[in-house]
Amino acid sequence: MRLNPTVTGALLAALGVGLGAFGAHGLRGVLDAGDLATFETGVRYQMYVALALLALGAGERRGAWVPLLLAGAVIFSGSLYLLVLTGPRWLGAVTPIGGVLMIAGLLVAAWEARSKEGGRA
């Protein structure tokens, strides 16, 4: 089954808006400023991926980049959410894996788009 980038992006964005509101209203006063900033970083990068999926999906292009971006967002943002909400600081070591997957997804999207255009710049 191939993921639909537009549907995936829209759902990821909706979740990002909800988590952003939760962070701004439900966690303010509960978390210290550093943990709140970490949570907000997770939301921000989740939204970046959601917007990339929506923009790239608008071109009706699907490929290996879709699951890479989704996995990257889940690992990057998810590890930050869990780190802040549950406390295990070792999760911070997992976060960069998600970042690498997001970068890989965007590079694969660029490669696939270029390849589909016959290598034109």
Q: How far is CA 70 from the centre of its chain?
A: 6
Per residue in 22-81, pLDDT (tens digit) is: 999 999 889 999 999 999 999 999 999 999 999 988 876 778 899 999 999 999 999 999
Q: With a cut of 90, say whether residue 116 has pLDDT above it.
A: no
Residue of 75, 23, 66 lying closest to 46 (CA atoms): 75
Query: What pLDDT shows up at residue 60?
Result: 66
Higher per-residue confidence, 62 vs 13? 13
pLDDT band, residue 14 (cuts 50/70/90): very high
Beta bridge partners of residue 28, listed in sequence order: 31
CB of 27 closer than 8 Å to CB of 36: yes
pLDDT of residue 86: 92
Block residue for tokens 């509101």: 21
- Separation CA 25–CA 57 (nearest Å): 32
Per-domain boundaries in the chain: 5-116
Q: 3-class DSSP state for residue 105?
A: helix
